[in-house]
Structure 1
Amino acid sequence: MPSSRLLRYNFAPTLNGTIASLPSHTTPWIVSDPSISFPALYASFSTFIMGRKTYEALLAMAAAGEKNPLAGRPRESVVVFTRDTDKAREWDGEGKGDVTVVKEGIVGFVRGLKEKEEGGGDIWLMGGGEVAGVLMRAGLVDVVEAAIMPVVVLGEGVRMFGDAGDGGDLKLVLEKVEGLESGIVMTRYRVVYD
C-alpha cells in the first residue's frame, strides 16, 4: 500500500534549472514575493531532508543574521545527508545535536520515512540536486514543486537533479501553474514512474 506521506521536492530554480550558484552554492538571485506565506508552506511539512551543502547554506544564512526556518524543530524532523564524518559528528552531536545526520543508506532511510505514518505531514526535499537525483532514480519523489525565478539564466550552477540523467526518462504531469506579480512562476508536477 502506498504511503499517504508525499516526498515533495520543493525548490527555486532559474529558468535553465540551476538551484545554486557555483562555486559558492548560494542563491543571491532569488526574489521574494509578498503573496507567498512561508509559515503556511513550512506548516504543510512534518519532515525536512537535505544534503550537506543545503544545510551549510542554512547555517550560513543564520550566521548572517537571517532567521533559520528550521530552528526549534524536533531533531528527528530535520535530516541531513552527508558522507563527511567530521560534519556528521559536529551536527549530530552523538544524538544530541539539532539535526539527524544520515551518512549512508539514503534511499532506505527515505523509504522508511515515507512508510512511517506518524509525524503526519509531507516530507520536504529541500536539496540539493545530487540528493534529488538519487531519490528520483529510486522512485521516491512524488511531487516536484518549482518556483521558477525571474532572473538571468546562469551559465554555471548546481543542476536541480544533479546527474539524474543516467537513470532513464521520467514523466512529469503538470498539476498546477501560477504566475505571481513578482515574476515567479509557481509549478507543481506529479512524478510518474513506470
Structure 2
Amino acid sequence: MFYQFNSANGLVLYIAVSLDGYIADSQGLVEWIKGEDDAVESEDTFTPFFSNIDTVVMGRKTFDQIVTELSPNRWPYIGATTYVLTYRNEADVTGNIRFRNMDACQLVEELRQEAGGDIWICGGAKVAGQLIEKNMINIYHLAIIPVILGGGVRLFDGSMPKIGLTLIETKKYNGIIEVVYSQR
C-alpha cells in the first residue's frame, strides 16, 4: 500500500505538477493531468490519501475551477470541511464549504488548534506558496505528470526558501511518478 500520512492536523500538499514545475497551463487549465496512455487506467492513490483528510484548504480560483469544470454537478470532497481563501466577503455555501478572507498561514494556525485529522492544501499556487515560504507544510506529495508545459502557473517560484526534505516513498504508473517527502 502507498504511504499514508496520518497525524493530527498535519499539513499535506498533495498536488499534480508537470515535469517542468507547473500546476496549470498558461490558460489555467489542468486537462493535461493524466498518464501517458489514455487506454490505461491510472492507479487511485487519492482515495486512500483522502481517507485521512478532514479539512481542505484552497484558493478561490481552485474552487471556481472545481465547481465549473472539474466537478460541476457534485462537490468531490464530501466528508471534509473545505476552506476557500478569497479576497471577497462571501457567505458560506454550506456548513462544509466556508469562505475566508485571510492569510493562508493564519488560517492553518487556527485549524491546527482544533481537534481533527490532516489538512490538505488542494491549491492553488498562491496558497501553497504562502505556506511553503513559512515552512509550514509537513508532507509534500507530488504527482509528476509526463508532460512539459513550457509555461503556466508555477508551483515553486524563485522566492521560496531552501527547505530540506526526506524522501518517504515513490510510486510509478502509466508514466506518472508520485513522490512523497516529509520535512527533514
TM-score class normalised by the smaller sequence: 0.7 to 0.9
Structure 1 unaligned regions, length at least 5:
none
Q: Which residue does the alignment assign to 1:100?
A: 98
Query: Following TM superposition, by how much is the alpha carbon of 1:8 offset from its aligned partner in structure 2, in angstroms?
Result: 0.5
Find the aligned partners of 1:148 and 1:138 in 2 and give their Cα distance.
Answer: 24
* Higher helix proportion: 1
In 2, Cα distance between equivalents of 1:73 and 1:22? 32
What is the match of residue 180 of structure 2? 188
Poorly superposed stretches of 4+, deviation over 2 Å: 32-35, 37-41, 165-168
Cα 1:16–1:58 shift into 2, 3 Å? same
Contact 1:111 1:140 in 2 (8 A): no
Q: Deviations over 1:7-64 (max 9, x none)?
A: 00000111111101122x221111164421533232121110011111111111233x
Indicate the residue corresponding to 2:52 in structure 1: 44
Distance in 1, Cα, partners of 2:167 & 2:48: 22
Report the TM-score, using the length of structure 2 for normalisation. Answer: 0.83
Residues 145-182 of structure 1: per-residue CA shift (max 9 Å, x gap)? 0011112x011111113x4x3243112221111111x1
* TM-score in terms of structure 1 length: 0.79
RMSD after superposition = 2.1
Seq. identity, % = 30
- Does residue 1:56 correspond to 2:60, yes or no? no
Is the Cα–Cα contact under 8 Å of residues 54 and 127 in structure 1 kept in the other structure? yes
2:155 is aligned to: 160
Q: Does 1:27 align with 2:30?
A: yes
Cα distance change on mapping 1:11 and 1:136 into 2, 3 Å:
same
